[in-house]
Structure formats: structure tokens, C-alpha cells
Amino acid sequence: MTVKKSPSGPVVLSWTPVAAMAVVAVVDLTMGPGVGLLPLVSLGPAFGSLVGGWRRTAVIGLAALLLCVGLGMYNGLFDRPRGYTAMLSVAGVTGVGIAAAVMRSRREAELASVRSIAEAAQRVLLRPVPLTAGPLHAAVSYTSAVAEARIGGDLYEVVASPHGVRVIVGDVQGKGLAAVETAARVLGAFREAAYDEEDLVELGERLERSVARELEDEKFVTAILAEIGHDHRVVLLNYGHPAPLLVHGDGTADFPEPPAYALPLGLAAHGGPGPDPFPVPFRPGDQLLLYTDGVTEARDERGGFYPLAERAHLLKDPDIHRALDALREDLVRHAAGPHHDDAAMLLLRYQQGAGATPSTPA
């Protein structure tokens, strides 16, 4: 979902140069030359450099210069240095405004290039999840805390492997490029191991070894792994990650908690026990929402956390993508401002009438 911004701000700003020059002209004609406002005509090109390119700034500057000459002649200021000083002021501000407009245009072009590169990187790192995988339909939502980059440290993936549909949702500690790099390594290791490892625990151990080789200085990745086979259940492996939301076909919802929470990926060297896999019934008509803590820790204006359990009814739309969009829109309304953390949501819906057949790679 894209939140559209009102164009009223830029429109008002674009008319500010004209308004400023008009006010100076009216006051000067009304109060006379004794007020000494003529140099303030330079406010026109000064404001003009804030919106639009250098050509627009130059046109506004020329208009300001002509206005300055007209007012100066009307008030008889050119028989004294005062009139010429005002013209030099307008010309100087116009020149500086043109230079500022040129530099701003270059920065905007560079920013557009950076955003384009970030979007390409996101498409490589966070590939679109398959619309269907075995008996499941999937939809994903991702909101980065770094709005201009549109990419962050949350990760997700769905792989239809010979061993069942395997899923990961994770959250890298920290933000910025280092978090993105770590997320890329975790996803790369998961995509390969999901096909190779027959056992979900062995898949998790392989991810742990891969992350431990790369991370330093107490860095870690919280993650939850899920495996959906053909026996109407989902097996979960939780590495210190928020419990998923399981919405049953009758509309009731709960959060399947592991018997004991394990340390996040990358901290196995501290000697803690690894996670135990635990199965949860997952039948046709059920939905499983995997998410990162940027969802449940989103705060409203009063500091209240997002009540995810109370919003399970938003996922009832027959179209899985519209259902997840409804939840995301509600999350944005609750936050009432920019996100302070990345927020990823992956919704899996077990289709009604799906038979007990093994999942095959997409």
C-alpha cells in the first residue's frame, strides 16, 4: 500500500515567491519609499530556489529585477545609490538561488538513483514469495523503518521443498547496510538448506553455523522456521522470535508458544540449548501469520502497542492479499506516524478442500 501525500504543501510553496514579491510591492506603493522595503523583492528568487529547477528560479529572479526597477523608478530611487543597491541585492540572491537549485536537482537525481538501486537490491534479497506452495496460499507485507531505502534487516522466504513447504521469518539485530548484509546471508543459507536438509532441526543447525561464522560482537538474528507437510500440521522451530498468530477456520486465534524459547541465531556459542520443534494443528481454512516485532511493538500516540490478537478478524477476506492489506492499513493507522522499526508480515492460508498430498517444489 502506498500512502499518498497531499499536494497542497508543494503548491503553496510554489506560489510563495509571487506572494512575497506582491506583498513587498503593495507595501512599497502604499507606504512610500521611506519604508525601505525595496531590497526585500529578493525574497522572490530566494523562495523560488526551494521549488522547481534553476530555469524557474532565473525567471522569478528576472521578474523580481524588473519589479525592482519599476518600483525604483516610481519612487525616484535611481538618483541615489539606494536603488542600485536594491538591484544588486536582487541579482545576487538570484544568482545564489540558481546555484542552490542546480545543487538540489543534482541531489534529487542522486537520491532517485540510490532508491532505484535499493529497490533492485530488495528484489534480489526479498524475492516475491510464491502465490501458492503446496496446499498454501501466501501473501507478504514489508515496511522498512528507513523509508527512503525501502529495505532493512527483516527477512522472509517460502520454499516448496521435497520435504514440505518451509518458511522462515527473521529479524536481524540493528539496522542499515550491516543488517541488510546479514539478512542476505541468512536467506542464502536458508534457500540452499531448505532443499538439502530432511530434518527441520538440522536445517536450523545449519543456519546457526552459517550465522555464527559471519556475525561478531554479540550480534544475532531472531527467527522462526516453519514446515508444513501433508499431515495437517505445522512444525515450528523458534529462535527467540515472537510467536506466530494462528487464526482457525472458526475465527478464533491464538499464539502457539514453544515449550521453551531458545537463543537467537548467532548466540549458540553462549551454551544455551537449541530450540525444540513443536507441532501445531494446521488444517484447511486455518491461517498462520508470521511477523517481526516491528508489528507488535508499533505504538500509537498514547504509547500503546499494536493489539494484534484483537485484529485477527481483519484477515477474514476471501482474497489473502486484500486480507493482509487490511491488517497493514490498520497497523499504519495505529502507528500514526513513521515506523521506528522494520515490520514484516507473512500470511499463510491453508486452502479449503486441500487434500493430504505432499508438497512439491514450485
**Count of C-beta atoms within a 10 Å radius of residue 31:** 11
Question: Is 174 within 8 Å of 342 (Cβ atoms)?
Answer: no
Question: Is 228 within 8 Å of 165 (Cβ atoms)?
Answer: yes
Q: Give the span between the Cα atoms of 205 and 182, in whole angstroms.
A: 17
Residue 205 is predicted with a pLDDT of 92
3-state secondary structure of 80: coil
Q: Give the span between the Cα atoms of 168 and 221, in whole angstroms.
A: 12
Question: Between residues 85 and 246, which one has the greater pLDDT?
Answer: 246
Residue 145 predicted with pLDDT over 70: no
Q: Dig out the grid coordinates for 325 from the structure.
A: 492489506
Q: Give the span between the Cα atoms of 170 and 219, in whole angstroms.
A: 14
Identify the bridge partners of residue 278 per DSSP, sorted by sequence position: 236
Report the candidate in 186, 156, 150, 123 with the shortest Cα–Cα distance to residue 348. 156
Identify the bridge partners of residue 137 per DSSP, sorted by sequence position: 132, 349
Report the candidate in 239, 237, 349, 333 with the shortest Cα–Cα distance to residue 289. 349
Tell me the mean pLDDT in the region 306-335.
Answer: 94
Residue 359 predicted with pLDDT over 60: no
Q: Give the span between the Cα atoms of 76 and 32, in whole angstroms.
A: 11
Report the candidate in 246, 241, 255 with the shortest Cα–Cα distance to residue 315. 246
Q: How far is CA 350 from CA 194, 258, 282, in A?
A: 20, 21, 7
Q: Dig out the grid coordinates for 42 from the structure.
A: 529578493
Question: Between residues 267 and 139, which one has the greater pLDDT?
Answer: 139
Q: Judging by DSSP bridges, how do beta strands 287-291 and 245-247 pair with one another?
A: antiparallel
Residue 129 is predicted with a pLDDT of 85
Q: Give the span between the Cα atoms of 142 and 151, in whole angstroms.
A: 9
The residues, ordered by sequence, that sit 6+ positions from 158 with a Cβ below 8 Å of its Cβ are: 129, 130, 133, 136, 138, 165, 166, 167, 346, 348
Question: Between residues 97 and 190, which one has the greater pLDDT?
Answer: 190
The answer to which of 2-11, 97-106, 207-216, 220-229 has the lowest mean pLDDT is: 2-11
Question: Is 154 within 8 Å of 173 (Cβ atoms)?
Answer: no
Q: Give the span between the Cα atoms of 182 and 185, in whole angstroms.
A: 5
- pLDDT category, 118, cuts 50, 70, 90? low
Q: Give the span between the Cα atoms of 205 and 189, in whole angstroms.
A: 11
Q: Dig out the grid coordinates for 35 from the structure.
A: 519604508
Q: Give the span between the Cα atoms of 19 and 23, in whole angstroms.
A: 6
Identify the bridge partners of residue 30 per DSSP, sorted by sequence position: none
What pTM was computed for the model?
Answer: 0.68
Residue 66 predicted with pLDDT over 70: yes
Residue 356 predicted with pLDDT over 70: no
Average pLDDT over all residues of the chain? 82
Residue 122 predicted with pLDDT over 70: no
* pLDDT tens digits along 264-313: 998 877 777 789 999 999 999 999 999 999 999 988 888 899 999 999 99
Q: Give the span between the Cα atoms of 201 and 243, in whole angstroms.
A: 18
